[in-house]
Amino acid sequence: MDRHGKIIFYEDKNFQGRYFECSSDCPELSSHFSRCNSVRVESGAWVIYERPNYMGSQYVLTRGEYADPQRWMGFNDTIRSCRLIRYTYGIYRLRVYERPDFQGQMMEFSDDCPSVYDRFRHREIHSCHVMDGAWVFYEHPNYRGRQYLLEKGEYRRYTEWNAMYPGVGSFRRVLDF
């Protein structure tokens, strides 16, 4: 189900300075603002990227206020593209595999996982199948470090979700409240 969304980017911290309102995918934001130091998500769930055309570090934001880049775990004030996350509301199922091409030990999840190693007994996930919902993989436990959005589909190798290595410390569902 496609859902409507609205996100507002502010050049300064605490929702000050010039701002830009967005309600659809935008592959190039630099013509609207030069820096981004706070964000307000009024509706929907969004992924924002540090580079144009949905490239570079990504951050998943749900409804709420992010007064400075640290609130979304950002490294700097550079946001260059964004898109609305599309998923089936309320249903979440994910299968993770210890090897590429859906090989080796498999475990299915329908809830958040703050520590992959504690639940899966592996420090690496080489492939996964998102059967329902949208999920975010984090490089460290307790939802810290680089983020990777995984929407419904098959990911035969970790490079298909744009990771540089297969280490996944935690993951959680994208919830739009």
Q: Is residue 148 part of a domain?
A: yes
How many domains is the chain built from? 2
The Cβ-side half-sphere exposure at 103, using a 13 Å CA radius, reads 4
Q: Residue 1: inside a domain, yes or no?
A: no
Mean pLDDT of 56-75: 91
CATH of the domain at 10: 2.60.20.10
Among 84, 112, 140, the domain boundary falls at 84
Burial class, 26, CB count within 10 angstroms (exposed 0-12 / middle 13-18 / buried 19+):
buried
Q: Which of 22, 56, 84 is the last residue of a domain?
A: 84
Structure-token pair, residue 168:
């996944």
Tens digit of pLDDT for each residue in 83-104?
999 866 678 999 999 999 999 9
> Taking the complete model, does pTM exceed 0.85, yes or no?
yes
Q: Which of 36, 54, 84 is the last residue of a domain?
A: 84
Domain enclosing residue 35, as ranges: 6-84
Average pLDDT for residues 6-32, to the nearest whole number? 96
